[in-house]
Copies of this chain bind each other. A is one copy, B any other.
């Protein structure tokens, strides 16, 4: 189960400190322009080492295309992407190799497999997400060029610090994917204090797709929201997913929640663009909760592989707030779900003709 998707099928491989990580993207339509440089931007957005607020591991993250592309376009055959691991300092982990880091997958991997690669978390490392981002680049390209769909993500909460407003204009400028430019200095101070304390915090992200036509999504178990939920929850450190009003809808009344339909469009979007597992034509809106990193300089009680009591202190390079790098990963996962669903929709319902034009998105505000 290192594969994701049904028709656009991404299979990833690689450990944090092995020779390379990579993926095979199978089922991609032919004739999509694709070159190695296409991956740079999103991989840079996800990269470690770019500011003091993230892990100081420096990986160039250069993507090598091994197959599936001929003379600059995809051929319909599997696209293999390879990213070499360059700055893997396994010795950092030598001291904790036999210990279970609390809040990490050390114990569970050992318990499952009876063996584990302890270097940098091995397969359970967030390093794997680099190839998700790479695969997502292909999906984003196709969605944009074929359907005019744009996907974006921002961070709306870091620890107890919440965004005052949602303005996409400067999200990509501040290095923190923050949607309120005015708050950025304050947020940086918050993060500096956090880093100095040796502790970490969680984050909440908002992920959106605009331009998705009505009709994508497969009831009953392949619902668009169900697959988005799985996609987001499969990201390292994710602990919660919600669609549209999400957990707030618990306290809403039906008259408040239901989005009325008018000829000018929907009057609101509490549904987050999905009804009955199928897209409505409105913006797809997803919230994701990320937990605080457990790898800290602050010691914690634990056990080692023989069951002996140990104290664990992490000296490797880690992010005080992993959610800060999650925006391109969330975007990639949403893109992969959407492209896969689009292809499935095309297969089953590609010939459906409608008398009535689609209802416009209308108001997207809650």
Contact B230 A11 (CB under 8 A): no
Q: How many angstroms from the CA of A78 to the CA of B82 in the assembled complex?
A: 14
Q: How many angstroms from the CA of A79 to the CA of B218 in the assembled complex?
A: 15
Contact A1 B218 (CB under 8 A): yes
Q: How many angstroms from the CA of A279 to the CA of B198 in the assembled complex?
A: 28
Interface digits, A139-170 against B, CB 8 Å rule (1 contact, 0 not)? Answer: 00000000000000000010110000000000
Contact A240 B239 (CB under 8 A): no
- Interchain nearest-CB distance for A314 vs B (Å): 10
Contact B292 A257 (CB under 8 A): yes
**Complex copy number for this chain:** 4
Count residues of chain A with CB under 8 A from any CB of chain B: 159
Interface digits, A324-366 against B, CB 8 Å rule (1 contact, 0 not)? Answer: 0000000000000000000111111111111111110000000
Please tell me if A302 contacts chain B, counting CB pairs below 8 Å. yes
Please tell me if A130 contacts chain B, counting CB pairs below 8 Å. no
Contact A278 B105 (CB under 8 A): yes
Residue of B nearest to A251 (CB): B160
Interface digits, A180-210 against B, CB 8 Å rule (1 contact, 0 not)? Answer: 0000000000000000000111111000000
Indicate whether A289 sits within 8 Å of B247 (C-beta atoms), given known contacts A19-B66, A233-B241.
yes
Please tell me if A261 contacts chain B, counting CB pairs below 8 Å. yes
Task: Tell me which of B15, B115, B293, B343 contacts A254 (CB under 8 A).
Answer: B293
- Interchain nearest-CB distance for A107 vs B (Å): 7
Contact A259 B66 (CB under 8 A): no
Please tell me if A313 contacts chain B, counting CB pairs below 8 Å. no
Contact A303 B255 (CB under 8 A): no
CB neighbors of B among A264-292 (8 A)? 267, 270-272, 274-281, 287, 289-292
Q: How many angstroms from the CA of A337 to the CA of B345 in the assembled complex?
A: 19
Q: How many angstroms from the CA of A305 to the CA of B356 in the assembled complex?
A: 7
Contact B159 A348 (CB under 8 A): no
Please tell me if A175 contacts chain B, counting CB pairs below 8 Å. no
Residue of B nearest to A304 (CB): B356
Chain B residues positioned under 8 Å from A15 (CB to CB): 67-68, 70, 77
Task: Tell me which of B24, B271, B293 contacts A11 (CB under 8 A).
Answer: B24
- Interchain nearest-CB distance for A269 vs B (Å): 11
Interface digits, A213-257 against B, CB 8 Å rule (1 contact, 0 not)? Answer: 011111111110111111111101011111111110111111111
Contact B226 A234 (CB under 8 A): yes
Indicate whether A291 sits within 8 Å of B1 (C-beta atoms), given known contacts A77-B15, A115-B31.
no
Q: A31-B114, A260-B300 are in contact. List 14 more A-B contacts (CB 8 A).
A: A9-B11, A14-B80, A27-B348, A29-B351, A30-B115, A111-B278, A112-B345, A114-B349, A124-B219, A200-B253, A226-B234, A234-B277, A246-B289, A307-B356
- Enumerate 24 A-B pairs (CB-CB under 8 Å) in ascending A order: A2-B26, A11-B11, A20-B80, A22-B66, A102-B259, A105-B219, A105-B277, A107-B214, A107-B359, A108-B276, A108-B278, A112-B215, A114-B353, A159-B253, A201-B250, A202-B252, A226-B230, A239-B243, A240-B246, A246-B289, A254-B294, A261-B302, A267-B301, A343-B347
